[in-house]
Structure 1
Amino acid sequence: MTASRLSPVVSHVVSPVVRLLAGAALLLPLAGLVALPRTAAAQRDERSEPNAFTWTGSIPAGRWIYVRNLNGPIRVERGGDRVEVVAERRWGRDADPKRVRFTAEKAGDGQSMVVCAIWSESGSCDEDGYSRERDSRWGDRDDGWVAVDFVVRVPSGVRVDVRTVNGSLEVRGATAEVVARTTNGGVRAETLGGPVDARTTNGSIFASMRSVGDARDLDFRTTNGSVTVEMPASLGAEVEMSTVNGRVSTEFPVTISGRIDPKRLRARVGDGSRRVSMRTVNGSVELRRASDR
């Protein structure tokens, strides 16, 4: 029996690929973004300090490297035996780059590390985020702007938690759990082991994992952008996928209870042993099987 002939009010199994169209995508104007593209003149006046900050040290497998930023991207790569964090400062003609300072301190567990870019004299930060960071000029669009670009290299087994406000997040080569959150920017997070927690507001999300470990809840959400998640073929989960302007689709065979809603899919994959939530407003939502390569 094909999916199109099944009753919309009874439980049924839908074979892959399930594609529920929600109409043509309508991307709404983004209002209130802090970091907008700079003019060509501002780009010509850009200065940079490639190695404004470096930190290298050992973090045991299973512990965390936390990196906190406000204006600028964070990129994570596979490294050697030690964690390495490098920060580049960029600024406009009239800005003082030295107002951005850096901290590297032990986290509360005594073995993980927290690296932060701090924009104000009274600001501070830890694994839970910023406090007393009230300097409003870090994201200005005139030549007073300052940005920080982080590159993080991690060895096998180290967990990664990277967060910024205005900037993209890219995690490749991780082998353990990943947390990646921003507000204005896309998120791409790939790991060979452990779950991914990826969130943004203005940007798309791509998350890929070969294992979800013992995670009970996985959450992927944005407002303006698509959400694409790759999960292992052995996935067992209660899945909720939703969009307003876009489509939802899955490569997994699923069991659906209730009505088929073209803008929402609530279904069970396998044994339904965990919860997976994938949400956006403007964009598509897609659940894929991770490749074995």
Structure 2
Amino acid sequence: MRRTLLASLLVAAAPLAAQETRFTPTIAAGGTLALENINGPMVITQGTGRTAEVIVTKRVIKGDGSYVKAIMEESGGKVRICTIYTNRDPNRKTCKGENSSPSRGRDNYDQVEMRYEVRVPAGVLVDAESVNGNITATGLEASAALQSVNGAIIFSGTTASHLETVNGGIKAKFTKADWDGTLKVSAVNGGVDLVFPAGLDADISGETVNGGITSDFPVTIEGKWGPKSFNGKIGRGGRRLSIETVNGGITLKKG
């Protein structure tokens, strides 16, 4: 009897098998692939052709994960794939809405991880957001915008419009330095490490509260310079580069 009871308890405590949802939308060059996740990492790589591949793997760590789903929306040249929680609205079928996990007392809440593995078609922009989870995007050939609340951002590619996180560091390597407008890189609790080609031309501003600033690039100072902040120019200047962090250092490297 004891063995039967113990076996039942172990089965009940074990996490459910991972469940996989696959999306394969066709996106034209110049279109956008938007990704929105609540809890779990995102891994994004460069693909070929016109078909994106997004595999979302759900892992229920504790509780009920049946109401956590990944869905896809298409509008014009934009495809959006998002995680939704349907516990408040069982009929919900859109990305827009409230996401929250039910709580049943202290330390008694559902834990569901959604892992995104993404291959992006050539020439497609990436706009990825995560609440709890790292975002890793490597080898991207078109512009990217990556945002996380609790998680690090790791990026390599040609260009980006912004890389932002609250709790986590940012590591980025750019193969080109030809972004349009302003490239904004921002962290609150974490360092910022950026690698640019040797021929970088940019008007640059940087600021940190608790951390130092180092640069492989000569910076012509225009305005203020201090151990915690600066405004200046790299090379001939031109496009804007804004770097901010509160708790962490700023490092600019040639590569």
Q: Structure 1 pair 184/141, CA: closer, same or farther in 2 (3 Å)?
A: farther
* Aligned with 2:94 (options 124, 148, 157): 124
Q: Structure 1 pair 48/168, CA: closer, same or farther in 2 (3 Å)?
A: farther
Residue 244 of structure 1 aligns to a residue in which SS? strand
* 1:27-42 matched pairs, under 5 angstroms: none
* Aligned with 1:60 (options 28, 49, 69): 28
Do structure 1's residue 167 and structure 2's residue 133 form an aligned pair? Answer: yes
Equivalent-residue separation in structure 2 for 1:172 and 1:288 (angstroms): 18
Structure of higher RCO (CA pairs closer than 8 Å, 6+ residues apart): 1
Cα deviation for residue 72 of structure 1 reads 1.1
* 1:1-293 matched pairs, under 5 angstroms: 45-51=14-20, 53-81=21-49, 82-93=51-62, 95-107=63-75, 110-120=76-86, 121=89, 122=92, 124-125=94-95, 131-137=96-102, 142=108, 144-191=110-157, 193-289=158-254, 291=255
Residue 195 of structure 1 aligns to a residue in which SS? coil
Task: Read off the aligned partner of 1:85 and give its amino acid letter.
Answer: V
Cα deviation for residue 252 of structure 1 reads 1.0
Q: Which has the higher strand share?
A: 2
Q: Structure 1 pair 137/173, CA: closer, same or farther in 2 (3 Å)?
A: farther
Q: Structure 1 pair 282/100, CA: closer, same or farther in 2 (3 Å)?
A: same
Superposed CA offset, 1:224-270 (max 9, x none): 11001122333222211111221101111110134531111221112
Q: Structure 1 pair 148/252, CA: closer, same or farther in 2 (3 Å)?
A: same
Q: CA RMSD in A?
A: 2.2
Q: Structure 1 pair 272/214, CA: closer, same or farther in 2 (3 Å)?
A: same
Residue 27 of structure 2 aligns to a residue in which SS? coil
Cα deviation for residue 211 of structure 1 reads 2.2
CA contact (8 A) 1:196 1:207 kept: no
The aligned counterpart of 1:31 is none
Unaligned stretches of 5+ residues in structure 1: 1-40, 126-130
Equivalent-residue separation in structure 2 for 1:162 and 1:259 (angstroms): 34
CA contact (8 A) 1:223 1:282 kept: yes
State TM-score, norm by structure 2: 0.85
State TM-score, norm by structure 1: 0.74
Aligned residues: 237
Equivalent-residue separation in structure 1 for 2:162 and 2:101 (angstroms): 28
- How high is the sequence identity, in percent, across the aligned residues? 30
CA contact (8 A) 1:248 1:265 kept: no
Equivalent-residue separation in structure 1 for 2:174 and 2:238 (angstroms): 17
Task: Read off the aligned partner of 1:165 and give its amino acid letter.
Answer: V
Q: Structure 1 pair 265/45, CA: closer, same or farther in 2 (3 Å)?
A: farther
Equivalent-residue separation in structure 2 for 1:45 and 1:278 (angstroms): 44
Equivalent-residue separation in structure 1 for 2:175 and 2:18 (angstroms): 37
Cα deviation for residue 214 of structure 1 reads 4.3
Unaligned stretches of 5+ residues in structure 2: 1-9
Cα deviation for residue 147 of structure 1 reads 1.7
Task: Read off the aligned partner of 1:153 and give its amino acid letter.
Answer: R
Which runs of at least 4 in structure 1 moved beyond 6 Å after TM superposition?
Answer: none
Equivalent-residue separation in structure 2 for 1:197 and 1:64 (angstroms): 15
